[in-house]
């Protein structure tokens, strides 16, 4: 039965995270944008303690606290115990509203954790999630992109050569979100180029493993509070127990780990919506709350002003993107295949956040361009949401293949 009523827990989480975003994140958002590469130590510690006390990890909503596989619950019950993906989408929209850069700094399983949850064996999930949800702030990074490729994840050139119980990894990984602070990295490497996609495996490399080196930090357009690192692997020996999904060929490999994105894309979309809303709310506050502009919904165009209609358009777009995102998250919570819907949500939210943040500056005039306000920061922050976790174009490719029932060969 179609229903849009949030559970009391969801409403509570939304309120709580919004308050946190407003009172804790907003006041320091500009500082960590200006002071790139400065660790927001106090923020990390405080946020970690708070979320830990709540028993909820934000970075990866689909991994439950103890690393237990939720699909086991699903077999036993008709519906999951808690709709973690929808809850996560609702909460992370608020957090990102506070500051998208700091959002990515929040410790927790992160993208690495998401990959472990999507592709790991039950033992691996238990073992690594224990680390990622431990008493100390910790972070799971994803090391996939290389200097030679971005969207084409099958072009992995980092090598993994078996040596007894170990694999020896060699290669360079770039754009590793949180790569400076991660406790473990999910590193993608190939067992041999001739094996194609089936030769691509994901290895969990723990911090401090000899041969694992953080080489440098990127200087970015936005999300400057979150560091993005280049990570180099030089004869890095990783035990075979850290090969995600285990050694058996039929275990989830590349494909399984690509499913990570089914879970993370709705979350990324929700963050984008949070940023769009922050820009919308900011101009709304000035035009509507402070200066009494009325948004006369549903009135004919000749009775309305430009700013009023722009604000309505912004709100409608945010609303549309949010509904798509909720649906994609809800489908995952209910074990429904959501590949297409996750990409739809990500594609739409990525477009909307760019449009809304750009327009908000225009409405604010020269003042909007000034660093006195956060509007210009949000527009810079926004851009990456149409780029990382699969560009907007890759999302459209995924959706198009699904609706056309085309293979990778039929639609390149």
Partner 1 sequence: MVSFELSEEQTLLRDTCRDFALTVMRKQDRQADESGEIPADIVKQGHELGLTTGYLPEAYGGAGSRLSALDSVIIFEELAYGNLSMALNILAPSLLNIPLMLYGTDDQKKKYFTMNKPDQFQGFTAALTEPSVRFDPEALKTTALDDGDDFVLNGEKAFVAIADSALAALVFAKKGSGEGLAGIDGFIVPSGGFAVKEREKNQGLRALKQFTLSLDGARVQRPDVLKLSGGFANLLARSRTASIALTTGVCRAAYEYALAYAKERNAFGEPIASRQWVAFTLAEMATEIDAIRLMAWKSAWMLDKDMDAYKEASMGKRYAADIAMFITRNATQILGGHGFIREHPVEMWYRDARSFAVSEFMAIL
DSSP-derived secondary structure letter, 228: E
Of the pair 48, 317, the CB lying nearest partner 1 is at: 317
Beta-carbon count within 10 A of 42 CB: 10
DSSP 25: I
Q: Which is nearer to partner 1, 330 or 369 (CB)?
A: 330
**Minimum separation from the CB atom of position 16 to partner 1 (A):** 18
* Smallest distance, partner 1 to C-beta of residue 311, A: 10
**Token couple for 386:** 């149409």
d(C-alpha 359, C-alpha 353), whole Å: 10
Our CB check for partner 1 shows the closer of 233 and 347 to be 347
Q: Are strands 212-217 and 184-190 parallel, antiparallel or unpaired?
A: unpaired
Compute the least distance from the CB of residue 329 to partner 1, in Å.
Answer: 9
Please tell me whether residue 276 adopts helix, strand or coil conformation.
Answer: helix
* CB of 263 or CB of 394, closer to partner 1: 394
Q: How far is the CB of 320 from partner 1 (least distance, A)?
A: 4
Catalytic residue among 5, 294, 389, 410: 389
Half-sphere exposure of 245 (CA within 13 A, CB side): 22
Write out the residues near partner 1 by the rule CB under 8 A: 1-7, 10, 83, 86, 297-300, 302-303, 312-313, 315-317, 319-321, 323-324, 326-327, 330-331, 341, 344, 347-348, 393, 395-397, 399-401, 403-404, 406, 410-412
SS (HEC) of 83-107: CHHHHHHHHHHHHHHHCHHHHCCCC
Within 8 A by CB and 6+ apart from 39, the residues are 181
Identify the residue whose tokens are 């929040």.
106
Packing angle of the helix pair 260-284, 306-333 (nearest 10 deg): 150
Region of residue 36 (left: phi > 0; alpha: psi -120 to 50; beta: else): beta
**H or E element, residue 124:** helix 122-132
- Our CB check for partner 1 shows the closer of 22 and 408 to be 408
Instruction: Report how far residue 20's alpha carbon sits from residue 43's, in angstroms, rounded to the nearest whole number.
Output: 11
Decide if 189 contacts 200 (C-beta within 8 A). Answer: yes
Shortest distance in whole angstroms from residue 400 CB to partner 1:
4
Distance CA 192, CA 198 (A): 9
Q: Which is nearer to partner 1, 77 or 302 (CB)?
A: 302
CB of 405 to partner 1, least distance (A): 9
Is 389 tagged catalytic? yes
C-alpha distances out from residue 60 to 92, 102, 114, 401, Å: 10, 15, 6, 27
Contact in structure between 142 and 156 (CB atoms under 8 Å): no
> Cα(384)–Cα(165) distance, rounded to whole angstroms?
39
Least distance to partner 1 from the beta carbon of 10, Å?
Answer: 8
Looking at beta carbons only, is 231 or 267 nearer to partner 1? Answer: 267
Q: Please, which residue, 281 or 313, has the CB nearer to partner 1? A: 313
Minimal distance, residue 317 CB to partner 1, in Å: 7
Q: Are 179 and 215 in contact (CB under 8 A)?
A: no
Active site residues: 389
């Amino acid at each position: 039965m179609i229903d849009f009523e949030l559970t009391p827990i969801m409403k509570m989480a939304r309120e709580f995270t919004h308050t946190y975003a407003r009172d804790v994140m907003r006041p320091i958002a500009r500082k960590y944008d200006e002071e790139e590469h400065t660790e927001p130590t106090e923020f990390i510690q405080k946020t970690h303690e708070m979320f830990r006390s709540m028993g909820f990890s934000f970075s990866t909503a689909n991994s439950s606290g103890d690393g237990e596989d939720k699909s086991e619950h699903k077999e036993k019950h008709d519906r999951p115990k808690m709709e973690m993906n929808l809850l996560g989408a609702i909460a992370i929209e608020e957090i990102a509203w506070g500051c998208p850069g700091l959002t990515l700094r929040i410790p927790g399983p992160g993208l690495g954790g998401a990959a472990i949850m999507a592709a790991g064996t039950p033992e691996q999930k238990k073992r690594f999630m224990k680390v990622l949800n431990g008493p100390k702030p910790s972070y799971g990074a994803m090391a996939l992109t290389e200097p030679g490729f971005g969207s084409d994840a099958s072009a992995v050139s980092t090598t993994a050569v078996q040596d007894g119980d170990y694999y020896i990894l060699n290669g360079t990984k770039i754009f590793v979100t949180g790569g400076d602070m991660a406790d473990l990295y999910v590193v993608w490497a190939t067992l041999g180029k001739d094996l194609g996609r089936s030769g691509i495996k994901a290895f969990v490399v723990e911090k401090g493993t000899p041969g694992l080196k953080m080489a440098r930090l990127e200087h970015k357009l936005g999300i400057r509070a979150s560091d993005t690192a280049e990570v180099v692997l030089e004869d890095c020996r990783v035990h075979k127990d850290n090969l995600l999904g285990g050694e058996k060929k039929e275990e989830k490999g590349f494909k399984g780990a690509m499913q990570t994105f089914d879970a993370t894309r709705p979350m990324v979309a929700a963050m984008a919506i949070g940023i769009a809303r922050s820009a919308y709310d900011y101009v709304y506050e000035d035009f509507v709350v402070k200066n009494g502009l009325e948004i006369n919904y549903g009135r004919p165009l000749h009775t309305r002003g430009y700013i009023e209609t722009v604000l309505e358009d912004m709100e409608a777009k945010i609303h549309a993107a949010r509904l798509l995102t909720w649906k994609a998250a809800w489908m995952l919570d209910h074990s429904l295949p959501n590949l297409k819907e996750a990409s739809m949500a990500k594609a739409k939210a990525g477009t909307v956040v760019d449009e809304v943040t750009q327009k908000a500056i225009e409405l604010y005039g020269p003042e909007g361009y000034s660093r006195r306000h956060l509007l210009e920061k949000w527009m810079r922050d926004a851009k990456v949401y149409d780029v990382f976790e699969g560009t907007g174009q890759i999302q459209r490719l995924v959706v198009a293949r699904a609706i056309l029932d085309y293979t990778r060969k039929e639609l390149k």
